[in-house]
Amino acid sequence: MMGFAILLVFYMLGTVLHEGFGVPLPANVIGLILFTLSLFLKIVKVSWVEEASQFLIRHMLLLFAPIVAGTMVFFSLIGEQALTIVISLFMSTFGVLLFTGWTVKLMSGRKMKEGERRYDRSRA
């Protein structure tokens, strides 16, 4: 139960920051960022939330059922906009892949240059 309480506290902190200070991120994302930081800083131990996390992961399908049922209300609208939705999905996926590729290329290029400099210094 303590694990669920900890997760709920971080969600509530995210909600307070979102509503109180107008942070332009969803409350659950803010809570998740705070939770992740607290894990990295060892404020919260993994063992405290591990059991609750495993329970939530095992029952994740049940947690998505209301969302899927809610989309059925808009099924006709989704059908009308299917082509636009599919094009948007492909374009955004392509954009993310392209950006990731450029980032990896840039970062690996820097590491290669650093490695070459080290190699040149060791030969001299």
pLDDT at 10: 96
Residue 116 pLDDT: 63
- Predicted local confidence at residue 119, as pLDDT: 59
pLDDT at 36: 95
Three-class secondary structure of residue 74 per DSSP: coil
**Spans of the chain below 50 pLDDT:** none
The C-alpha atoms of residue 116 and residue 123 are separated, in whole angstroms, by 11
Cα separation, 57 vs 72, whole angstroms:
24
Alpha helices in the chain, H assignment, sequence order: 2-21, 27-40, 46-58, 60-73, 75-80, 82-123
This prediction's pTM: 0.56
Q: What is the pLDDT of residues 47-60, one digit of tens each?
A: 999 999 999 999 98
Q: Which of 51, 52, 16 is nearest to 31 (CA)?
A: 16
pLDDT tens readout for residues 62-79: 888 877 788 888 888 888
